Amino acid sequence: ERPKDLMPLLARGRKAASALEESVLASLRSVATVWKEARSQVESCDARIRALLEANAPALLGVEGCGTTTAAALVVAVGDNPGRLKGEAAFSMLCGVSPIPASSGKTERHRLNRGGNRQANWALYEIAIKRMAYDERTRRYVARRTSEGKSRREAIRCLKRYIAREVYRVLMDPNPDGAAPEGPELAKMRKAMRVTQKQAAAELGLSAATLGHLERGKRRSTKLERRYYELLCELKGALPQTAS
């Protein structure tokens, strides 16, 4: 079982049959109490960090795959190096995801960048891994890169470079005009148009479950919401108009 499911059971304990068993149960209750307190502190810190991000970089939390911890790491990296943000390429160099030429003879290739801010590099890696797990377009991109002869690590390096471009644009323009409606509003639009969730998911290259999370507000992605909104507008224009 997961710790969050197991710890409450350990905290409650049960009646011991012997002194030895009572000692073991007391130790387990102590561990569960410490874990609960630590978890409470983590959740409190996470809430404070999220409040700061929502006040200063709200659009960053909408980047697909970007959570509170990863967003905070990126913001700190940018805040510590304002003079280095001369452009998108400079930001990718700061994060250690810019390609380093490593060609030899007729072979053209790039190697991993071991420099840059390692916390920012980790944040981009976490976003990339989450997208590879849940986003169909990302999986297709990685599959295409590996079919071209790149290793998995090289494919992820390429993916992190694209994510760095997206993050940079969000950081430079945190409140873009014309933001798309959020998931629940998009769900209402879709239902009013009599388009099924499965049809919309197929058009977006997503699973119905992923789109369902977006529509219920369990998942935020500014980029995906914009794509979804543009799709619904396109479908609306293609639907036959009923006579009034």
CA–CA separation, 34 and 25 (whole Å): 14
Shared domain for 213 and 151, answered yes or no, is no
Domain carrying residue 39: 3-54
CA–CA separation, 137 and 147 (whole Å): 15
200 in a domain, yes or no? yes
Domain endpoint, select from 172, 200, 224: 172
99 in a domain, yes or no? yes
Determine what percent of the chain is predicted with pLDDT higher than 70. 84
CATH number at residue 216: 1.10.260
The pLDDT value given to residue 105:
66
Shared domain for 160 and 73, answered yes or no, is yes
Distances (CA, A) of 49 to 70, 71, 81: 11, 10, 20
Residue 242 has pLDDT above 60, yes or no: no
Shared domain for 18 and 92, answered yes or no, is no
100 in a domain, yes or no? yes
229 in a domain, yes or no? yes
Residue 118 has pLDDT above 60, yes or no: yes
Residue pLDDT, tens place only, 8-49: 777 776 676 778 877 877 888 888 888 888 888 988 998 899
Domain endpoint, select from 126, 150, 172: 172
Residue 128 has pLDDT above 90, yes or no: yes
Q: Compute the residue count for the chain.
A: 244
Shared domain for 110 and 194, answered yes or no, is no
Shared domain for 167 and 221, answered yes or no, is no
The pLDDT value given to residue 110:
63
Place of tokens 């790149």: 150
* Local confidence band at 123 (pLDDT 50, 70, 90 cut-offs): very high
Shared domain for 43 and 82, answered yes or no, is no
Residue pLDDT, tens place only, 47-58: 899 888 888 888
**If you average pLDDT over residues 206-219, what whole number do you get?**
84
CA–CA separation, 155 and 142 (whole Å): 6
* Local confidence band at 147 (pLDDT 50, 70, 90 cut-offs): very high
Report the first-to-last Cα separation within the chain, whole angstroms.
Answer: 59
Q: Do the beta carbons of residue 62 and residue 85 sit within 8 Å? A: no
**If you average pLDDT over residues 87-114, what whole number do you get?**
75
Residue 178 has pLDDT above 80, yes or no: no
243 in a domain, yes or no? no
Q: What is the mean pLDDT of the chain?
A: 82
Shared domain for 139 and 188, answered yes or no, is no
Residue 70 has pLDDT above 90, yes or no: yes
119 in a domain, yes or no? yes
The pLDDT value given to residue 160:
92
**Of 179 and 60, the one with more pLDDT:** 60
Shared domain for 43 and 66, answered yes or no, is no
For the chain, the domain total comes to 3
What b/e sequence results for 232-241 when a residue is b if at least 16 CB atoms lie within 10 Å of its CB, and e otherwise? beebeeeeee
**If you average pLDDT over residues 129-157, what whole number do you get?**
89
- pTM comes to 0.62
Shared domain for 76 and 151, answered yes or no, is yes
CA–CA separation, 210 and 154 (whole Å): 27
**Of 241 and 87, the one with more pLDDT:** 87
Shared domain for 187 and 132, answered yes or no, is no
192 in a domain, yes or no? yes
196 in a domain, yes or no? yes
**If you average pLDDT over residues 190-194, what whole number do you get?**
89
Shared domain for 64 and 78, answered yes or no, is yes
Residue 231 has pLDDT above 90, yes or no: no
Shared domain for 136 and 97, answered yes or no, is yes
**Of 103 and 158, the one with more pLDDT:** 158
The pLDDT value given to residue 134:
85
